[in-house]
Chains A and B, each alone.
Chain A
Amino acid sequence: MSEPLLRVRDLSIAFGTPRGRIRALRHVNFDVPKGRIVGVVGESGCGKSTLAYSLIGLLAANAQITAGSITLDGTELVGLPDRDMRAIRGTRIAMIFQDPMTALNPVSPIGRQMTDIQYRDATSRAEKRQRAIDMLTRVGIPDAEALLDAYPHQFSGGMRQRVCIAMALLTRPDLLIADEPTTALDATLEVQIVSLLRELQREFGCSVVFVSHHLGTVAELCDDVAVMYAGEMIERGEVREVFHRPAHPYTQALFECDPGRIKIATRNLPTIPGDLPDLVQVPPGCIFKDRCPHRWDRCDTEHPPLYEARGDRHDARCHMIDPAESRAEVPS
C-alpha cells in the first residue's frame, strides 16, 4: 500500500480559556490514503472540527498544537511558517464549510470570488471565468454563465453549498476537507450534495476528509471512518467493517442510538447515559469509562492504546480487544 497522503501522528491540541486549558485533542493518530474518502464522526464537542481545522492550519488564536505532527505527502505542516502554509491552502488543501449561508462574501459577485481564488494562476481572466463556469455547471448549477455576476444572497442554501464545492474543487486540491457540509441543509439537499461529492471525488481523485455527526451519510459516502470521542480517536477502519462490527463500546452505543435502527416502536429513544468528561482535568484511564457498560478496573487506571480489532486496518481503543486480555470478547 502506498504512502498515505496525510499522516497525523500523536496530535494534541489545547485551547487556552479563562477556565483553564482545554485539552481538545489528545494523541490523535489518523491517516488519509490517497484517493479515499475518510469520514470523521462523533458527537458535538468531540474535537472533529478541531481536527479538521488543524489540517488546514486555521485553528483559533487561542489554540495551540502541543504535540504531534501532520504530514502532507512528506511535508510537515505543524510549525510551518505562515507564508508556506498559505501557499498550501487553496492549492493542495481545500475546505468546505458547514454553513453555506455565511461562507461566501456577501458583497462580491460569485464570479469574482471564483476568479479570486485562482489568483496564483498566470492565465487570463477570461480563462479563469471559463473554468469557473465549467465547474459551476459540473456541480449542477444551471445557467452558470449568467449567474457569475449574481450575489450570494440571490442563491438558496443548497445552491450556495454547491458554489462552495465548486470553488474548492476549482483549485484541484490533493486533499478536500469537508466540515459537516450538509448539517445546515435539509434531508433532500443532503442526499444531493452527498452524491455530488461522491461523483466529484471519483472524477477528480482527491482525498476527502468528511467530518459529520450523521452516521448514515458517512456510511453512504466514505471508504474509511474514524470515530472520535472527547478528543480522542477511539476507533478507525474501513467503513463497512466498523459500522457492521463496531469494536468500541462507544461506537456500538452510537449505532444502538441511531433512530433508523430501531425496529420496534418505542416511547423512549435509547441514549448513552452520563455526560462528556471534563477536558481541563482529563481523568486517567479510558476516556469513555464513565459511560461504558463494560467497564472494569483496568479501564480506571490504564489509558488504552489503539489495539487491532480485526483485520489489519480496524483499530479500537478498548482494553477488551487487547489480545493479551483474558476478558477479551469479540463483540457481536
Chain B
Amino acid sequence: MVIYAIQRLLLSMIIIVVAVSLLNVMLHLVPGDPAVMVLGPRATPELIERTRLEMGLDRSMLVQLAMFFGNLLRGDMGTDIFTGREVSTIVMEALPYTLILITVSILWAMAIGIPLGCYSAVRRNSWLDRVTGVLSVATISIPAFVMALYGVLIFAVWLRWLPAIGAGETFAEQIRHLILPAFAVGVSWVGYIARVVRASMLEVMGENHVRMARAFGLREGRILTAHVLRIAVLPAVTLIGAGVAHLFSAAVFVEVIFARPGIGALIVGAVNERNYPIVLGAVLVTTGIIVLATLISDLVVAWLDPRLREEL
C-alpha cells in the first residue's frame, strides 16, 4: 500500500512538472518579450534588462526552466506587477475560499447523489428512478455558470431568500453565502454521481458473491452496504477525482458571479490586468491541487479495493 502511494506521488509530480513546463514554454513561444510580460507595461528599460538577466532569458531554454523550478521550490512564484506583493502570499490567501467552495459542493453532491443512485438501482424503474434518470442527463451538461445565474435570479432577486454577493463575515453568514454557489457548482454532479452509482450497483448486484451472500440469508441491508455499495462506489470516487479540474473551472465562474473571493476571482481579475505572475502562480497552485486530488482519490480507491494495492 505504501509503495503504491509513493509510486502515485512520483507520477503526480512528474505530471505537474510537465504541465508547468508546457505553460512556461508557451510564455516563450508567444511573440513579445517575456520580461515585459512579467513586469507589465509600466516597466522601465533598466528594469526590463535586469529582469531579463534574472530570468536568464539570455541563457538556453533548459536553463531557464531549471531556474524557474528552482525558484518554485523555494516558494518563490514571483511578485505581483501592481502591488509588489509576493504572488505566493496572494494566491495562498485566496485558495482556502475556493477549496471550501469545491469541497462543500462535492460533499453535498455525494450526500444526495450516492443514496439517489443506490435507490435507483434497488428500485429499478420506479418513478423516482425514471425521474432521476431524466433529470440527471439534463443537469449534467448545463454549465455551472448558467445554474449560478438561475440561482441568483430565482433565490436572490426574485425570492430574496439567499444572498448573492460575497462570502460573509460570521460563520453563520458564511454558510448562508455558500448555499447558492455550492448549489451551482454541485448540482450537475448530483445527477452524474447518481447515474454512475446506479450503473455500477446494477452491475455488482448481478455478481456471484452477492448471490452467495443471499444464500447465507444475510439481511438485504447488509448485502447492499458491505457487498454492493462498497464496490459500486469506486467508479464514482475515481470520477470525482478526475473531475476536480472541472470543479475548478466551475468555481471560477461561480466566484465571479457571486463576487466571492477565491482563486477563480483572482485569476479573472489578473487576466483583465494582464498580470501574468499572478495568473501563472494561480495556475500552478490549481494544477498542484488537481494532481493532489487525483492522487487522493486513487489512494481512497486503493484503500477501498484491496485488489488494486498490488499494481500501479
Contacts and interface: CB of A to CB of B under 8 A. Distances in A.
B228 to A, nearest CB: 10
A27 B227 CA distance: 36
B215 A153 contact: no
B7 to A, nearest CB: 19
B230 A107 contact: yes
Nearest to A104: B209
Contacts of B217: 86-91
Interface residues of A, number: 27
Interface string A140-180: 00000000000101000000000010010001000000000
B231 A107 contact: yes
Q: Name which of B212, B230, B231 has the most chain A CB atoms within 10 A of its CB.
A: B212
Contact of A106 (B213, B222, B307): B307
Q: Name which of A105, A106, A119 has the most chain B CB atoms within 10 A of its CB.
A: A105
B300 to A, nearest CB: 13
Contacts of A58: 211, 214-215
A292 interface: no
A90 B230 CA distance: 22
A56 interface: yes
Given A106-B305, A153-B306, A167 B209 contact: no
Interface residues of B, number: 21
Contacts of B209: 102-106
Nearest to B210: A105
Nearest to B216: A90
Interface in A86-101: 86-91, 94-95, 97, 99
Contacts of A116: 216, 218, 222, 226
A90 B215 CA distance: 6
B60 interface: no
5 contacts: A97-B208, A97-B212, A102-B207, A102-B208, A116-B218
Given A94-B216, A99-B208, 20 more contacts: A56-B215, A86-B217, A88-B217, A89-B214, A89-B215, A90-B217, A90-B218, A97-B211, A102-B208, A103-B208, A104-B209, A105-B209, A105-B213, A106-B231, A106-B307, A107-B231, A108-B227, A108-B230, A116-B216, A153-B307
Interface of B: 207-209, 211-219, 222, 226-227, 230-231, 304-307
